[in-house]
Amino acid sequence: MDTFKKLKQFFWPYKKYLMLSLFFLFFVTVITVVYPIILQQTIDNVVLADQYELIPYISGAFLLLMIFKGFATFYHQYLGDLFGIIAVYKLRDALYDKLQRLSFKYYDNAKTGDIMSRLTADVEGFRFFLSFGFSELLRIILLIGISLGVMFYFSVPLALVTMAAMPFLGIVVYQFDKRVHPAFRKIRKSFGKLNTRVQENISGMNTVKSLSREDFEIGRFSVSNDDYRQNYLKTSFIWSKYFPLMEFIGNFCAVALLAFGGYLVINGNLSIGELVAFFSLVWYIMGPLMNLGFVVNQFSQAKASAERLLEILEAKEDIEESETAIDQPIKGHVTFNNVTLTYSENDDSALKDISFDAPPGKVVGLIGSTGSGKTSITQLITRFYEPEKGEVLVDGRAVSDYRIKTLRQAIGFVLQEPFLFSTTIRENIAYGNPNVSEEQIIDAAMRAQAHDFIMKMPNGYETMLGERGMGLSGGQKQRIAIARAICINPSILVLDDATSAVDMETEFKIQKALKEVMKGRTSFIIAHRISSLKHADEIIVLEDGEVVERGTHDFLLQNQGAYQRIYEIQYQDREEIMNRQHA
């Protein structure tokens, strides 16, 4: 039960609903056990005693009991469901909150489909046990306990014969639980992998179709689907193996009851009505005991689900906010002092001993091959990761001294592959600053060279976008992302290949607008095109996580180093065209 104790905070505050549900369950169970007693009284005191005038009274009492049981059953089930629904509502909120606070390091290894599976199927599996499992377990205990009490009242020897089968049934149930829990754990894992496969396929459908890999994807899905099928079949085999055995023990007990009970009736030690009531009561014991296997099955599923949910709730938060974190305006002075960053223990360092100073208003260009560490620098400024060595300062303070929200709200990010939400263009632009005015939204769009194409769309700024901005070109997405960053009015602006998906003419217009936007702001421009950053105050050239050159565009061209080689590669074709035109 340790797994459930760890999740106690989510369901125990609402125990009043569970207790009330169990209160009504008690009455439901007692009334259920009264049925065989009424049957015994009807046979012995009415049929065999020829007192048929008692039938209307017995029928009336029976009808009242059924009405009362109906009301009690309603409140028992409703309050039980209420308990489970409210508990998982809080649990789901906590899981989502945790996912928002986990660092990039967690998502580097997490699978979207698996996370979705945990927040849906696993949460629902846990809810079902809260709503049904606890009360069903108590119902079994109550039904067995009360039934045994009535049986001992009727006949001690016959009750002892009935109880003789219980240890064997208990052993079977224990063995069933021992084998079914690991089986359900595998089912949950394979279901998560299946979800991941579907999610990745749908997200990458353009790539799949453009490369004609539909058959390959069908094959991959089939493998994951078959793994899920095999795990379910193994669980079904366990279920099919143990439940007939439980039923055999129950039936054997019923045969023994009829044989010995018949003997007692013949010898006058038991009435016919008591034997009939006994036979009903024995199934009130054997049925719940066999149903205990079903409860164990639900418990195993809920435990497997709870373990997967705890993996999220107990995941380490690599980026933590200190209790003394400050909340003050940020001017944007960024300093790196001998910073080294390693993403994981077995990897090479992404950044090695990086140092630079970027006062407010300075534009820093970052250039280098893929994997050279350009993006890693900007991710340290926002505390997406923590440096292994050295320190990152903003306005002379370590970034860890600031409240995370304060720090990140002061930084405007435009990524190479911007993410747009399935909502209106207006809401996408205003996403980082919900209080921005209509005039500011339009101004930001105009600066980002997005206003014209937005106005050509069916509903202008109210146009609904598809998933991940479906329906827009790569360049249009980037321009909306730039407008979103402008609306934040950040102290620090990060442009991570922000104009890579636009044509040269549009890039020129955006760069012109961004020069106005970058005034007074510390700006970092990550680019592969030299044309995007040659106006920077300082250009840092990176290779394998190290600074190999730094300086202005003109200085680096004269330095005859890595920057000049990049320049020659990018401008060689242009110079050849110009030479041909002159020739």
Write out pLDDT tens, residues 48-67. Answer: 777 877 788 888 888 898 89
Work out the end-to-end distance of the chain between its first and last CA atoms, rounded to an integer number of angstroms.
85
Cβ neighbours for 483, distance < 8 A, ≥ 6 positions apart? 429, 441, 444, 445, 447, 448, 450
Cβ neighbours for 234, distance < 8 A, ≥ 6 positions apart? 183, 186
Residue 145 confidence (pLDDT): 87
Pairing of β 522-526 and β 363-368 = parallel
pTM greater than 0.75 (yes/no): no
Residue 182 confidence (pLDDT): 79
Q: Nearest to residue 498, comparing CAs of 385, 359, 378?
A: 378
Residue 498 confidence (pLDDT): 65
Amino acid at 248: F
The span from the CA of 380 to the CA of 341, in Å, is 9
User: In what order do the strands lie in the sheet containing 411-414?
Assistant: 411-414, 492-496, 522-526, 363-368, 538-543, 546-551
Q: Nearest to residue 238, comparing CAs of 292, 168, 184?
A: 184
Does 2-313 carry CATH code 1.20.1560.10? yes
Helix (H) or strand (E) holding 21: helix 15-41
108 vs 151: which has the higher pLDDT:
151
CA dihedral for 512, 518, 522, 525, sign (positive or negative): negative
Asked if residue 34 lies in contact with residue 41, where contact means CB atoms within 8 angstroms, the answer is no
Structure tokens at 582: 């002159």
Most confident residue range from 164-168, 285-289, 402-406, 475-479: 402-406
Structure tokens at 103: 């660092």
The span from the CA of 334 to the CA of 316, in Å, is 28
Which DSSP symbol is given to 348? P
Residue 580 confidence (pLDDT): 44
Structure tokens at 303: 């435990």
The span from the CA of 581 to the CA of 192, in Å, is 60
C-alpha 300: how far from chain center? 20
Ordered DSSP codes for 190-217: HHHHHHHHHHHHHHTHHHHHHTT-HHHH
Cβ neighbours for 582, distance < 8 A, ≥ 6 positions apart? none
Asked if residue 261 lies in contact with residue 279, where contact means CB atoms within 8 angstroms, the answer is yes
Which backbone phi and psi does 336 adopt, to 5 degrees? -110, 125
pLDDT beyond 70 at 500 = no
The span from the CA of 391 to the CA of 406, in Å, is 19
Residue 285 confidence class, pLDDT cut points 50, 70, 90 = confident
Burial state string for 275-312 with b = 16 or more CB within 10 A and e = fewer than 16: bbbbebbbbbbbbbbbbbbbbbbbbbbbbbbbebbeeb
pLDDT beyond 50 at 73 = yes
- CATH code given to domain 328-410+531-583: 3.40.50.300
Amino acid at 542: L
CATH 1.20.1560.10 maps onto the chain at 2-313
Give the mean model confidence (pLDDT) for residues 390-411.
90
The span from the CA of 135 to the CA of 568, in Å, is 76
The span from the CA of 295 to the CA of 288, in Å, is 10
Residue 581 confidence class, pLDDT cut points 50, 70, 90 = very low
pLDDT beyond 80 at 7 = yes
Q: 133-147, 330-344, 381-395: which has the minimum mean pLDDT?
A: 133-147
Residue 293 confidence (pLDDT): 67
3-state DSSP: the chain helix, strand, coil percent, rounded to 5? 65, 10, 20
